[in-house]
Amino acid sequence: MADEPGAARTRRPSSGPRKAPIVDNFVLMFYNKDGSAPAYSSADCAGSLSSEASFREKVRDYLERIKELRREITDKYHAKKLTEDKMQALLFELRVQSRFSALNVKKRQAVKVHLQRKLLLCEKIYLLTIRLQKLYIELAELVDSRASHCVQLHRTARRCASALYEHRRRMAAT
């Protein structure tokens, strides 16, 4: 192994203790190996599953609404770009006509209409963007509350496992 090129670079030093595993197996130490299901007095399995299903449904609804708003904002941006292009063409035409002093009232009116349409599209885009931001905030709050709920469940499970470990240790000592 020492005569292979690059062997010294790939070898890891074996000094120091091994690191702890990433997975938390503390609760699994008290796994019931006899196969009988424990009887819990206050646990409602169907309720927790339905809350999980409702949470997933809420997240799916938020993501669908976000996708729809993004699509609508994109459509508004395209309409705004088309309006700007038309307005630029009309303004160029007006500049050319003003050089030859052949101003057309209808062309001015068309430019005014396009400017108003562009302003309206900008306002709609702004309102849709605000709605999108609110949806992102609501989704973040929903996920945050769910994460804190999961952390609380894990904390409770750890306390129960610690109490069970202590109880078994006392029972073994007596």
58-75: per-residue pLDDT in tens?
888 888 998 888 899 888
At 44 the three-state DSSP class reads coil
* pLDDT of 32 higher than 80: no
Of 67, 86, 83, 72, nearest in space to 124 by CA: 72
Q: Please give the Cα distance from 140 to 137 (Å, whole number).
A: 5
Q: How far apart are CA 78 and CA 71, in angstroms?
A: 11
Question: Which of the four pLDDT bands, split at 50, 70 and 90, describes residue 1?
Answer: very low
Domain that holds residue 124: 64-142
> Could you report the per-residue pLDDT of 109-144, keeping only the tens digit for each?
888 888 888 889 889 999 998 999 999 999 999 989
Give the pLDDT score at 91.
82
**Count of alpha carbons within 13 angstroms of residue 113, beta-carbon side:** 8
Running DSSP on this structure, what letter comes out for residue 101?
T
Going by C-beta distance under 8 Å and a sequence separation of 6 or more, which residues neighbour residue 79? Answer: 121
Q: What is the pLDDT of residue 57?
A: 87
Give the total number of structural domains in the chain: 1
In a domain, 19, yes or no: no
User: Is the residue at 52 inside a domain?
Assistant: no
- Domain assignment present for residue 78? The answer is yes
Q: Does 43 reside within a domain?
A: no
| pLDDT tens string 2-15 | 555 555 555 555 55
Cα distance between residue 141 and residue 135, in whole Å: 10
pLDDT at 47 over 60: no
Q: Is residue 100 part of a domain?
A: yes
Which pLDDT tens digit goes with each residue over 141-169? 998 989 888 888 888 888 888 888 888 88
3-state secondary structure 53-97: HHHHHHHHHHHHHHHHHHHHHHHHHHHHHHHHHHHHHHHHHHHHH
Is the pTM higher than 0.85?
no
Residue 131 counted as domain residue: yes
